[in-house]
Structure 1
Amino acid sequence: MNFIVKSSFCSLVFLMVGHCFAQEPDYAKLTAETIMENFNPRPSPDAKLTQWNYTQGVMWTGLDQLWMATGNGNYFNFVKNAIDNYIDDNGNIKTYQLKDDKLDDVLNGRNLLTLYKVTQKEKYLKAAKVLRSQLAQQPRNKEGGFWHKRIYTNQMWLDGLYMAEPFYAAYAKIFNEEKDFDDIAHQFLLVNKYMRDAKTGLLYHGWDDTKKEKWADKSTGLSKNFWARAMGWYGMALVDVLDDFPLDHPERKQLIKVLSQFAAAIKNVQDPQSGLWWDVLNYPNRKGNYLEASASAMFVYTLAKAVRKGYIKAPYITVAKKGYSGILSHFVHLDKDGKLRLSGTVSVSGLGGSPNHYRDGSYAYYMREKVVDNDPKGLGAFLQATNEMNLLSSLAEGKAKTVLLDSYFNNEVITDKAGLKHAYHYKWEEEDNNGYSFFGAAFKRFGFNIATSYAAPSKRVLKDAAVYIIVDADIPTENPDPEYMTEQYAHTILDWVKKGGVLLIMNNDSGNADIKHLNILTQMLGFTFKEDSYNKVKGREFKMGGIDISADNPIFKSVSKVYIKELSTIQINNNSVEKVLTKNGQNIAVVAPIGKGTVFAVGDPWFYNEYTNGLKLPASFQNYGAMQDLIKWLTLQTKTIK
């Protein structure tokens, strides 16, 4: 027997045979399972490879998000394995045709960039460059707007903004192509200028600036209707592009204004009963019109993320919540085996095309397109919406306080495979094994802001920080001009902690980090790092690096075993310092109350990506959970610094 997951007085729980279960289903996990079961581009070696297309990218991006939110490497590996079906060592993309100039084909470049940043394999970068070369040659209308495809002469579709601009922005950020942001902003502002209806704020599906297409109005060049999913693509594109858009770019404020206008328009056409959105937004309740799943999910995602990022006013989260509840009530179904099915997604809607099947953009046309179950666009959009909504439960905990990562004592520089120099080793933005991107993302999920300081600690540097992290202090073999801890710096940090600051010291073992000078500070805190290298591991004998955690641990409450190798142990010199982690009588991590503040110290960088991203360690090690436990504990320690 099938049953439907609904929202009721017991709030988003199973309803089955009249019984209400208090355990809310893990919709993200269930959606991911449906995707991975049904959308492997080559499920067997002899199967025909699915065409490289944008529907994959919507799902892959959702899986990448879920990987970051859970540390479950299965999601990353599914995306990687799927893409590896297409990409050879020279970066060629099977089934892709550069000459077709389809913006749809560019979307998956976002996932290629993620794979490159995580694995550092050049084939992904080469493939991304192929897609970037398409944007360089993409035909444009007389206003400079991208044609949707080469065969769609002079046509801009709202869909195209999502297909091209998030990848365009991510690429520009990675490779410092600052002028590209002018073009990215231009694409959005051009659409907003010509395709936005002044009365409703809604945007038309398409625009032909020559006004020659049959579907185009002869005076405006616009299509006839406001198709919901087209606006959904546009909203997602805008809120995602802002992730990479420079804070000081002159058009950033204008893009945020456009997003705010978009949010207001979407709010106004939300169905008041269901919380959902109609397939054709300007004809609610018209005969034949229907509430549509993929667009509703896209609007929920856009609004929830825009609120989280502070782009639009907080009350819009009520609109997102109502929309998400409507999706669960109307479109999400679980069968007797617990498998998720998403109904209510229109398979496709477009404009123009072949004379025999011409899409004229009329209301009747939109109503002719099929509505299907488990459409990849719907599943991908719902997964992304769910990932975003899942953040709501923890966002308030960090209260927008700042976690400041030191890059003064740890300031190694590397030239990457793209020829760019940058600071590396335990950095927020670093997504390979050596980075702290998972650590940073976890802080943000708890509502913290993250920042990096390349300056020496001072009252000015520390004044806005709630948490200050010192990690892996440099030695000459890593940095020819290391900056060492001094008495002055130590006293500055000590005074800051006494006033309520939370200090997190994550050093390293002897031979890989400066211990001698760092101990100038730690001596003032009641402990010192030993100049040793404890818990060594041979090859992949991971069990050698295991550390058991008791059920009554005051910080790590949800885990029982973690992995930390080659660390410096800690000597306690003051009775106020408490042991948190130990192994065979050696102190691995300690906590020290200092005035109104707190110090947590461990002799290893510990929560770098290699040991939190789920791609290397056996599942028996719970480093990802330990990282979350530590951040939860830190939220309780943070106080206003006076």
Structure 2
Amino acid sequence: MKTFCILACSFLFAAAAATPLAAQSDNDHWAERAADSAMARWPDGRFVAADAPWHWNYELGTLLEGMDGVWFSTADGADFKYIKSSVDQLVTPEGTIATLKADDHELDNILVGRQLLLLYRVTLDKRYLTAATFLNDQLAQQPRNADGGYWHKQRYPNQMWLDGLYMAEPFRAEYAFISHRPEDFKDVTHQFVLMEQHARDSKTGLLYHGWDASKQERWANKQTGDSTQFWARGIGWYMMALVDTLSYYPADDPGRKQLLAILNREAASVARYQDQKTGLWYTMMNKTGEKGNYFESSSACMFVYAFAKGVRRGYLPASYLANAERGYKGILSHFIKSNGADVSLTDTVKASGLGGNPYRDGSYAYYIGEKVVTNDPKGIGAFLLASAEMENAQNAKLGRGDTVVVDGWFNSQQRADAFGHQVYFHYKWDTLDEPGYSMLGHIFRNFGAQTRELDAEPTVANLHGAQVYVIASPDNADKNPQPHYATAADATLIADWVRAGGVLMIMENDTSFADLDHFNAVSEKFGIHFNSVLRKHVIGRQWELGKIAIDPTGPIFHNAHTIYVKDVCTISVSGPAHAVLKEGDDIFMAMAKYGKGTVYAMVDPWLYNEYTDGRKLPGAYDNYAAGKELVRWVLAQVPR
């Protein structure tokens, strides 16, 4: 095996001791361990007896959301495989959800739709989009109260519950995003605003679990229609809904500011009721110390997730990370039990609701009397989300305030999507299937950076506010009949941007897939020339032909990696540039310091989803882990 000199630094997943939790820490990779444990406990997502009927349900949706979060943080293909196999148990090849009773109009049934959208966007299998479209159409038929708020269920007329916002709105926002329906965000915003307007208590700032617009229910206040208690998990659902929905909002949508304001108000209220000693929250949030009240695990996980993700994505002030850290330590010390491979979460309330038969009166006695269990799927799903976020939080300070822009000009290939729109797809953040950079985008965002796409020519205005500019495989005429070739003016502008402190990432390709001749006008500004030769030519699935072993001896990588590339060019260096990865006389990776800025160059777009999402490459290749080290190094080059 040939050895390469290079850049390095991945994360070593040390096994945590299966001893008392007090001796363990939040660095013990609980997300991966709990995910593995859940997959072993509930094969194919089934958490009922083998002979019991199995149906579409929101508890599965919560569990799979947790798996989704772990997959995007680790690129372990087993997590995605589990999501797919779990959904495939319930969706026919034609895209029908056989066990769904659509006439019940339950918002709970919408939640698994998020996994349908994930599966469609990753695999492009239209049966998942067919099923997701059915759910979106069901929302269009959902009964509403006089103010336009969704009924929680057909059998709960005029009632809005906090739970319903999580069940429906992140799905609807993502569907609106991929289907090019920005007008739908107005109604998404309205659901959140309506709930806060009617359910928020002016004294505590907390939200009541339910609101009956008709004021007829026995549990409802006859003046306001509100229920009487502040149920922690209900508020947790609402906060998670906010941070998840915001991810899909157009930057200029006026509803985005409204949702951010709601999130910040609720975060302040929830933080006030965090127990100072344990870092946890009582299930009845404002009844500290009252008889029968207890610390509940799923709500703590939800709050930790919302705080940590809110900070990482820039929705909340950085000060709330301290609340997440205290909460997570409390979760580990009070609720997590482990004997090695098995990870269990205790003290999760099984279910709480309002009305129905037998009737739930929404009293304090009712809530504290509901069954508390170990290893509830909702709790495990929330713990997975919280754990993935807390592992991200260890790195998220590095890129906080930075914006990473991916090019959509020099590589402007388009394709028709399922909704009849021509969309940019090649090496783009929002492309989840093989040619996309969605996993790389997640790495950057997990390090605290924000990401956006630049579909126009780079100009001073267009690069304003960008700290990192990613250009991958600029088009040639074979791949794009109307390529935007780099010009001398482009080269000068980009060089000036780098000189002022920008970090440029150039990830080229071989001449059959990309333009080298014109783009060398840009790279040569930094002493980097891409050579029109072919190396690492791979035939079929002979993976070893594209294998590169990275030694942890260079400026970028500090851990050993084995990465995969396919059909690449080589680099020549001069002036400020120097090689960081070589095989014999062939240079595959280079870098240059230029003024206040930095340039990274690679002969392959090697961090696209096909090679990073854990679904295709053999396990010996760790492009994702190497990509994390590269991103850490790139963000560290940004002048502070």
Sort the TM-score into its range (normalised by shorter chain). Answer: over 0.9
Q: Deviations over 1:138-159 (max 9, x none)?
A: 1111111111111112221111
Tell me which residue corresponds to 1:111: 115
Unaligned runs of 5+ in 2: 1-15
Question: CA separation of 1:627/1:95 partners in 2, compared to 1, >3 Å: closer, same or farther?
Answer: same
Question: CA separation of 1:419/1:46 partners in 2, compared to 1, >3 Å: closer, same or farther?
Answer: farther
Tell me which residue corresponds to 2:608: 608
Q: Deviation of residue 370 (structure 1)?
A: 0.8
Tell me which residue corresponds to 1:260: 264
Q: 2:92 aligns with which of 85, 88, 94?
A: 88
Counterpart amino acid of residue 472 in structure 1? S
Tell me which residue corresponds to 2:356: 353
Question: CA separation of 1:576/1:436 partners in 2, compared to 1, >3 Å: closer, same or farther?
Answer: same
Structure 1 vs Structure 2 CA RMSD: 2.2
Counterpart amino acid of residue 534 in structure 2? S
Question: CA separation of 1:462/1:137 partners in 2, compared to 1, >3 Å: closer, same or farther?
Answer: closer
Does residue 230 of structure 2 align to residue 222 of structure 1?
A: no
What is the rounded CA distance, in whole Å, between the counterparts of 1:179 and 1:503 in structure 2?
A: 35
Q: Mean alpha-carbon deviation: is it higher for 45-54 or for 142-151? A: 45-54
Tell me which residue corresponds to 2:7: none
Q: Deviation of residue 374 (structure 1)?
A: 0.6
Q: Deviation of residue 15 (structure 1)?
A: 8.9
What is the rounded CA distance, in whole Å, between the counterparts of 2:25 and 2:372 in structure 1?
A: 32
What secondary structure sits across from 1:505 in the alignment?
strand
Q: Deviations over 1:500-535 (max 9, x none)?
A: 332211111111111111122333332321212221
**Does the 8 A contact of 2:410 with 2:485 survive in 1?**
yes
Q: What is the count of residue pairs matched by the alignment? A: 625
**Does the 8 A contact of 1:535 with 1:564 survive in 2?**
yes
Q: Deviation of residue 18 (structure 1)?
A: 11
Tell me which residue corresponds to 1:341: 344
Tell me which residue corresponds to 2:594: 594
Tell me which residue corresponds to 2:470: 469
Q: Deviation of residue 170 (structure 1)?
A: 0.8
Q: 2:214 aligns with which of 210, 216, 228?
A: 210
**Does the 8 A contact of 2:300 with 2:331 survive in 1?**
yes
TM-score by length of 1: 0.93
Tell me which residue corresponds to 1:403: 404
Does residue 280 of structure 2 align to residue 273 of structure 1?
A: no
Tell me which residue corresponds to 2:10: none
**Does the 8 A contact of 1:42 with 1:48 survive in 2?**
no
Q: Deviation of residue 456 (structure 1)?
A: 2.4
What is the rounded CA distance, in whole Å, between the counterparts of 1:348 and 1:208 in structure 2?
A: 20
Q: Mean alpha-carbon deviation: is it higher for 495-504 or for 29-38? A: 495-504
Counterpart amino acid of residue 620 in structure 1? A
Q: Deviation of residue 226 (structure 1)?
A: 1.4
Aligned sequence identity (%): 44
Unaligned runs of 5+ in 1: 1-12
What secondary structure sits across from 1:212 in the alignment?
coil
What is the rounded CA distance, in whole Å, between the counterparts of 2:599 and 2:123 in structure 1?
A: 34
Counterpart amino acid of residue 587 in structure 1? I
Tell me which residue corresponds to 2:12: none
Q: Deviations over 1:238-283 (max 9, x none)?
A: 1211111222222322222211221122122222222211111232
What is the rounded CA distance, in whole Å, between the counterparts of 2:539 and 2:608 in structure 1?
A: 20
What is the rounded CA distance, in whole Å, between the counterparts of 2:493 and 2:130 in structure 1?
A: 47
Does residue 452 of structure 2 align to residue 451 of structure 1?
A: yes
Tell me which residue corresponds to 2:5: none
**Does the 8 A contact of 1:558 with 1:625 survive in 2?**
no
Counterpart amino acid of residue 593 in structure 1? K
Q: Deviations over 1:176-222 (max 9, x none)?
A: 22222111111111111111111111111112222222222233222
Counterpart amino acid of residue 522 in structure 1? S
Q: Mean alpha-carbon deviation: is it higher for 74-83 or for 485-494? A: 485-494
Tell me which residue corresponds to 1:423: 424
Question: CA separation of 1:87/1:456 partners in 2, compared to 1, >3 Å: closer, same or farther?
Answer: same
Q: Deviation of residue 618 (structure 1)?
A: 0.6
Does residue 489 of structure 2 align to residue 488 of structure 1?
A: yes
Q: Deviation of residue 116 (structure 1)?
A: 0.6
Q: Deviations over 1:461-486 (max 9, x none)?
A: 33433222221111122222211112
Q: Which has the higher contact order (CA 8 A, sep 6+)?
A: 2
Counterpart amino acid of residue 72 in structure 1? D
What secondary structure sits across from 2:415 in the alignment?
strand
Question: CA separation of 1:328/1:629 partners in 2, compared to 1, >3 Å: closer, same or farther?
Answer: same
What is the rounded CA distance, in whole Å, between the counterparts of 2:226 and 2:284 in structure 1?
A: 15
Question: CA separation of 1:610/1:217 partners in 2, compared to 1, >3 Å: closer, same or farther?
Answer: same
Tell me which residue corresponds to 1:29: 32
Q: Deviation of residue 100 (structure 1)?
A: 1.1
What is the rounded CA distance, in whole Å, between the counterparts of 1:122 and 1:543 in structure 2?
A: 33
Question: CA separation of 1:245/1:18 partners in 2, compared to 1, >3 Å: closer, same or farther?
Answer: closer
Q: Deviation of residue 69 (structure 1)?
A: 0.8
Q: 2:247 aligns with which of 243, 248, 251?
A: 243
Question: CA separation of 1:282/1:538 partners in 2, compared to 1, >3 Å: closer, same or farther?
Answer: same
Counterpart amino acid of residue 177 in structure 1? R
Does residue 132 of structure 2 align to residue 128 of structure 1?
A: yes
Q: 1:154 aligns with which of 155, 158, 168?
A: 158
Q: Deviation of residue 132 (structure 1)?
A: 0.7
Tell me which residue corresponds to 1:7: none
TM-score by length of 2: 0.93
Q: Deviations over 1:266-322 (max 9, x none)?
A: 122222222211111232211111111111111111122222233333322222222
Q: Deviation of residue 561 (structure 1)?
A: 1.4
Does residue 180 of structure 2 align to residue 179 of structure 1?
A: no
What secondary structure sits across from 1:50 in the alignment?
coil
**Does the 8 A contact of 2:21 with 2:333 survive in 1?**
no
Counterpart amino acid of residue 428 in structure 2? K
What is the rounded CA distance, in whole Å, between the counterparts of 2:594 and 2:27 in structure 1?
A: 41
